[in-house]
Structure 1
Amino acid sequence: MLDLISKLYKLEKQAREQKLDPEAVHAMRQERVRPIMDKIKALLDARVKTTPPKSLLGRAISYALGQWERVMVYLEDGCLQPDNNAAENAIRPFAVGRKNRLFSGSPRGAKASAAIYSLIEIAKACGLNPFEYLLQVFEQLPHARSGDDLKTLLPQGMSKNNPA
């Protein structure tokens, strides 16, 4: 199983190194990844029959099979990743400082912190400089008069070439 998963990640690495566009990644996944995923599914199906369901391995197999349709979605879109490593890496700095933020002062302060952290990470994901993005938001926020005005201040509404 680990060998098969390793093959999947090698193919994903090759796609990144070759800077394949999403359509090419999709085609590669259909041709080369889908057969590996089919082997993984066959192994899970076989092992679920011979593994005690309450054992750690049995629970892991049952969980994997229960999530199979969701896992397979990444084969249908070349923009999707096979895991959530990008999200995990993005939140790591906040998770590391979690104990420091237990003392946000109030639930309202904690919600405000979460909102700012989310904006920062989304800005990064959209290719924006978080400091410059927040500077623009704080300068333009007092002039926002409608929901549409606020939407234009979201990171998705701005781009590196066309800041709000």
Structure 2
Amino acid sequence: MPKSLLGTAITYCTNQWEKLNVFLQDGRLEIDNNRSERSIKPVVIGRKNFLFSNTPRGAKASANIYSIVETAKANGLKPHLYLQYLFERLPQLPNPADPEALSKLAPWSASLPLICRVYSK
């Protein structure tokens, strides 16, 4: 029966068939969005804490830190040690606006110390 649970599931599957085929044709695509949902979980859990970011500057600072931490995780870094590394190196940059100097501190930079990495390469 079309309105039964099985019928609803089959209808859903046929409606999503084109998207499923794209997934099957490109092995780089993930079948679900669990990874992205897990990455925003701390933000969702900390939502009430954001009430204390009562200024736009405070909210922007929180967003910047979350962005750095999640990008570090996505690049296989230990966020705490990566932040410590940044806080030690950034004040020592002669020109903080120099893109080349900043690129050496980026989470995907090969010049980061091994201690910042989750898995040494």
TM range (shorter): 0.5 to 0.7
Contact 1:123 1:133 (C-alpha < 8 Å) held by counterparts: yes
Unaligned 5+ segments in structure 1 are 4-39, 46-63
**Counterpart of 2:14 in structure 1: which amino acid?**
L
**Counterpart of 1:95 in structure 2: which amino acid?**
V
- TM-score of the pair, normalised by structure 1: 0.51
Residues 135-144 or 78-87, more deviating: 78-87
Matching residue within 151, 156, 160 for 2:103: 151
Q: Say whether 1:91 aligns with 2:61.
A: no
Q: Say whether 1:81 aligns with 2:33.
A: no
**Counterpart of 2:78 in structure 1: which amino acid?**
N
2:25, 2:100 → 1: CA distance? 32
The 5-angstrom pairing of residues 122-161 of structure 1 reads 122-142=71-91, 143=93, 144-158=96-110, 161=114
Q: Which runs of 4+ in 1 moved over 6 A?
A: none
Q: Deviations over 1:7-42 (max 9, x none)?
A: xxxxxxxxxxxxxxxxxxxxxxxxxxxxxxxxx89x
Q: Which has the higher helix share?
A: 1
Contact 1:126 1:155 (C-alpha < 8 Å) held by counterparts: yes
Percent same amino acid at aligned positions? 45
Equivalent pairs counted in the alignment come to: 105
Residues 88-97 or 136-145, more deviating: 136-145
**Counterpart of 2:98 in structure 1: which amino acid?**
S
Cα 1:74–1:149 shift into 2, 3 Å: farther
Structure 1 position 102, deviation (Å): 2.2
Q: CA RMSD in A?
A: 3.2
Q: Deviations over 1:47-67 (max 9, x none)?
A: xxxxxxxxxxxxxxxxx58xx
Contact 1:128 1:160 (C-alpha < 8 Å) held by counterparts: no
Unaligned 5+ segments in structure 2 are 117-121
Contact 2:73 2:79 (C-alpha < 8 Å) held by counterparts: yes
Cα 1:77–1:150 shift into 2, 3 Å: farther
Structure 1 position 119, deviation (Å): 1.1
Cα 1:116–1:72 shift into 2, 3 Å: farther
1:111, 1:79 → 2: CA distance? 33
- TM-score of the pair, normalised by structure 2: 0.66
Cα 1:156–1:72 shift into 2, 3 Å: farther
Aligned match of 2:119: none
